[in-house]
Amino acid sequence: MAAASVNTTISMLDSNMETDKLTYEIFSILENKFLFGYDDIKTSDKNLSAPFAGNKNVGTGKVRILTIDAGGSTDGVLAGKSLTHLEDTLRQKSGKPNAHIADFFDVVAGSGAGGVLAGLLFTRGNDGVPMFTAKEALDFVVENGRKISRSFKTGVFRRFSRPAKVFRKVFGDLTLKDTMKAVLIPCYDLTTGAPFVFSRADALEMDGCDFTMADVCGATMADRAVDIKSVDCRTKITAVGGGIAMTNPTAAAITHVLNNKQEFPFANGVEDLLVVSLGNGDSDSGTGNVMSSPAAFVKIAGDGTADMVDQAVSMAFGQSRKNNYVRIQGNGIVGKRNQIIKEENISKGERMRKMVVIAEEMLGQKNVECVLFQGKKLVENSNLDKLKIVASELIKEQERRKNSILPPVILKHAPSSPRTSSATTLSSNSSC
């Protein structure tokens, strides 16, 4: 399903056609999985691990994917709290008190507030380890939520917070090349009228696809048009938030892995993946008068898309979703959230701290699973139970790799000959 690099002379129509084609192919793969049987693997699929099937010590393992939705009712707080609990559990179970989330995942895809969390957790600091722990990333979201997420009004003048300044203070001149694992962060490019996915793989292949992390995070959080350019100034886009491009980036992450044989040579299907998908709270778009704000319609569309992606991916994993696919999503917190927003004489810091308490409550809720075209159902395990289970699976995979001859992941660390990744195809911009 690889596509040729998009040439600068390709017309807007051609670009949109390519994007539509890829979108069709993504969901065709998912559709074939759940409509025609999880176990019905095509014999024509190239199984790179087949020559080693007789050696029980050569298992190729699973590619570990973390995906984080765009901000919902709690603007990244739920996902941040989930990551904090997950990191604490991983440290405890692995016996490594200084372990980071990035140590246990090969791929991260984040949109909106999820993209910011991805950047904070997977960008390499001066000491060679991730810049932020999960707790530090949550604190950042809590303390800077309004600065990085939304515009506001003062009197008759409309002012905008400047998230780029906040992000530059954090990331400095660090770029996508400075991320530690495969990173995918989307926005929507108004110039081409198509999603644009910032990708570490693409950045390592060509400078025209390398952007500063400050710009990447600013673009995926943008609630208005933001002009940004690549490090070499060859690629220019007019970006708005990742929630418009793809609220739930899980399908894009899976597609990237299954079609990037250079970095993930043995990932042939969903059975070769371990996916942890974090939502950011249920929607408040169904409350009040949705006709009062066009933004409400955008939220409804985004929430619906996130649920559909969850349902399709869940069905694609079939019976293996018990151990291979975990979705953490809040349920029924709209009323409490709205009460906090309406409180007067409360500082924004106190308001966000109360949001953290709500996030803690959501982790104690029973986990919600989506059933395609049948809505949602509650399961016995709580969200926190699910995180503990997936932590055990992540550690098992980490231990398995110590005795494996063939690595399931071969991440690039230096530029090589150009290759079109799935992220590049989604990012239908001429220079990439």
Active site residues: 111
What the block records as the tokens of 9 is 């002379």
User: If DSSP codes are grouped into helix, strand and coil, which group holds residue 43?
Assistant: coil
Q: Are 269 and 255 in contact (CB under 8 A)?
A: no
108: which 2 tokens?
Answer: 């991260």
Residue 370 tokens, joined: 């989506």
Q: Token pair for residue 254?
A: 């899976």
Query: What CA–CA distance (Å, rounded) separates 419 from 406?
Result: 23
CA dihedral 299, 303, 305, 306 (to 10 degrees): 130
Phi/psi of residue 15, nearest 5 degrees: -60, -45
Phi, psi at 250, each rounded to 5°: -60, -45
**Distance between CA 27 and CA 113 in Å, rounded?**
25
- Supply 328's token pair: 């953490």
SS3 of residue 11 by DSSP:
coil
Q: Please state the φ and ψ torsions of residue 244, each to the nearest 5 degrees.
A: -80, -40
